[in-house]
Structure 1
Amino acid sequence: MRYIIIGAGAVGGAIGGRLHQAGHDVVLVARGQHAAALRERGLRLRTPDEDLTLRVPVATGPDDVELRPDDVLLLCVKTQDTVAALDAWAPAAAHLPLLCVQNGVANEEMALRRFSRVYGVCVWLPAQYLEPGVVSAGGAPLTGMLHIGRYPQDGRTDDTARAIAADLESAKFLAPVVPDVLRWKYAKLLSNLANAVQAVCGTDEPEARELLRRARAEGEAVLAAAGIPFASEEEQAAQRGDRVDIREVPGAERGGGSTWQSLRRGTGSVEVDYLNGEIVLLGRHHGVPAPVNEALRHATNVLAREGRPPGSTSAAALLAALPS
């Protein structure tokens, strides 16, 4: 199989780099300065134990790739960019397997409108985009944990998912194939509610920790009302064990999660509408208020729109504005 990594940023770059290092065929799809740097200098992948330069083939879109029957598409863009990516690739590639290697739970349904063979992937992979052509991944001894499952869920697994998982496990990933991938993705959604808190105001102050506690409590209440199961934090930790520890990457500044990184880079958009906003949406469907997640969703979007850096909002002010 050949892996086409659509969105070779932090997560996509780490996965594509590891697969290439393990001897698998890979194409990295990127844009702008990042694509230019990848073509000129290769992908620099920095980990706790290695500083690699990998000469991986690079494309800027579907017109740069002659598709093969054994291709597998890994969609690694942020959710706000999903529709544009799917619309670009579907005309030529709708018959190929597509894996949504993304946070949130909305991408698979978007993909299924355009692709017939869709898989969800729950991503536990601490990674950062450092500069054009350079990404870091802080997981060790394995780089990350990637649960893979068919979408829609039908209680079965298949040979395609198992073959992809075997390739990922040869490339320093833990890759369980599961019949209930959304149970893992909803668990990750709950943990991703912290992304907005970290991005907006940091997580060190007591008020920020209270925002985080209340956002998580709202999320759990909404999922309970919707009848949506999710893996417990204990189950996730037990599966990772000591195989995916977050460690220091020499020479790389320790930054924040994906939303923090988007604000830091001034990209102008964040995926908060599909994280905290997913809880708000489900809450409205099931009559469960989610004011903390709505406040975080709004505040994060304001920072992104105005080009303000992470930590520009007061947690105390956010708390004070919430209904008691």
Structure 2
Amino acid sequence: MRVLVVGAGAVGGYFGGRMLAAGRDVTFLVRPQRAALLAKNGLVIKSPVADLSLAAPPTVLSEQLQPGYDLIILSCKAYDLDDAINSFAPGMGEHTLILPLLNGMRHLDTLEQRFGKERVLGGQCAISSTVNADGAILHLAASHTLTFGPRDGVVTERVKAALAVMSDAGFDPVLSENILQSMWEKWVLLASLAASTSLMRSAIGDILEAPGGQQFVLAMLDECRSIAAAAAYPPSAPFEEYLQKLLTAKGSPLTASMFRDIENHARVEADQIIGNLIARGQQLGLQEPGLPLLRVAYIHLKAYEARSRRMASSVTK
């Protein structure tokens, strides 16, 4: 099975690197700058599980791409999705499957409109990783699970082949026959965490120390959970218990990556993680004055985006 990994960053580079080290046919679709860095330094992964260094991993630029890949793994930021689609589209073959690892659900609609529902798998990953200044991938915790599956629950031979190419490759692949449940659960978690920590500009433990802090966090969780329930994907009992413990842990340093992006004056996935969740809630009948905390968090994030654009514009004048 020929695998094309779009990008070689913290997520795609990690899982693709592990598969490449296991002898799988993996190519990284990258921009010229990243291609040059990989050619110079190789693909380096520093991990508590096992370090990895691959000299000159196979890379390709978009303009060089030819059809024939069996599986395309997509792990870009949601705001880069359109550019990513245009970059990997030339590599699509007649039976190519796309495995997106983006958060939320809006990307599924976009990919389906472009390539057809039967081509687009559901997927999510549980990994904490980043890329340092030298281009090395830093795997920050032992967890490295990639969960995927057909959105209609029908496991075809192509889906089984995708599982096979990821198996015994140094991470934990999970084939799910109910991948949308897993994706909704992760969305509830991420939206609750992102909305809470971004709005309060604090870690969960700091919010819990404030008067009414725990009630605020749990109310945010309840709004997110209500949308999943309206969509017929309420969190399962075990995941509900996990959420409660995670979001009420005293002294927890936990923050969302969205909050950290704000702290670093970087772009955020406001529309994809919070805005689209609110929109789906509206479509499912949760109208005004419902979802007040999520709406305030979304206004906060959009104001941050507007200010960032204004500040960037003033610098260039």
TM range (shorter): 0.7 to 0.9
CA contact (8 A) 1:34 1:132 kept: no
Identity %: 25
Amino acid in structure 1 at the alignment position of 2:166: L
**Any idea what SS the aligned residue of 1:74 has?**
strand
CA contact (8 A) 1:128 1:255 kept: no
Q: Which structure is higher in helix share?
A: 2
After superposition, residues 88-107 of structure 1 pair within 5 angstroms as: 88-93=87-92, 95=94, 96-107=96-107
Amino acid in structure 2 at the alignment position of 1:23: G
CA contact (8 A) 1:266 1:307 kept: yes
After superposition, give the CA deviation of every residue in 1:178-220 in whole Å (9 maximum; x if it has no partner): 2221111000001111134344512232246554322211011
After superposition, residues 11-30 of structure 1 pair within 5 angstroms as: 11-30=11-30
1:320 maps to which residue? none
**Any idea what SS the aligned residue of 2:121 has?**
strand
Q: Partners of 2:273 and 2:254 in 1: how far apart?
A: 20
2:312 maps to which residue? none
Deviation at 1:256, TM superposition (A): 5.8
1:181 maps to which residue? 179
CA contact (8 A) 1:270 1:301 kept: no
1:57 maps to which residue? 58
Q: Partners of 2:298 and 2:307 in 1: how far apart?
A: 14
CA contact (8 A) 2:128 2:140 kept: yes
TM-score, structure 1 as length reference: 0.77
Amino acid in structure 2 at the alignment position of 1:187: E
After superposition, give the CA deviation of every residue in 1:91-140 in whole Å (9 maximum; x if it has no partner): 55163211112111122221111224111112212222333522222342
Change (3 A) 1:256 1:223: closer
Change (3 A) 1:192 1:270: same
RMSD: 2.8
1:293 maps to which residue? 294
> Is 1:127 matched up with 2:132?
no
Amino acid in structure 1 at the alignment position of 2:16: G
Amino acid in structure 2 at the alignment position of 1:123: C
Change (3 A) 1:183 1:210: same
CA contact (8 A) 1:120 1:149 kept: yes
After superposition, residues 1-324 of structure 1 pair within 5 angstroms as: 1-31=1-31, 33-55=33-55, 56-61=57-62, 63-68=63-68, 70-93=69-92, 95=94, 96-116=96-116, 117-131=119-133, 133-140=135-142, 143-151=143-151, 153=152, 155-193=153-191, 194-199=193-198, 201-203=201-203, 204-205=205-206, 206=208, 207=210, 210-234=215-239, 257-260=256-259, 262-263=261-262, 266-267=265-266, 269-288=267-286, 289-307=290-308
Q: Partners of 1:191 and 1:286 in 2: how far apart?
A: 20
Number of aligned pairs? 285
Larger Rg: 2
TM-score, structure 2 as length reference: 0.78
CA contact (8 A) 1:255 1:261 kept: no
2:245 maps to which residue? none
Q: Partners of 2:180 and 2:190 in 1: how far apart?
A: 14
**Any idea what SS the aligned residue of 1:183 has?**
helix
Q: Partners of 1:236 and 1:65 in 2: how far apart?
A: 46
Higher relative contact order (CA 8 A, sep 6+): 1
Mind listing any 5+ residue stretches in structure 2 that lack a counterpart? 243-252, 310-317
Amino acid in structure 1 at the alignment position of 2:45: L
Change (3 A) 1:156 1:263: same
More displaced 10-residue stretch of structure 1: 99-108 or 46-55 = 46-55
**Any idea what SS the aligned residue of 1:126 has?**
strand
CA contact (8 A) 1:14 1:45 kept: yes
Change (3 A) 1:97 1:103: same
After superposition, give the CA deviation of every residue in 1:11-53 in whole Å (9 maximum; x if it has no partner): 1111111111211122222336444322321122111143322
**Any idea what SS the aligned residue of 1:131 has?**
coil
Change (3 A) 1:91 1:51: closer
Q: Partners of 2:110 and 2:38 in 1: how far apart?
A: 29
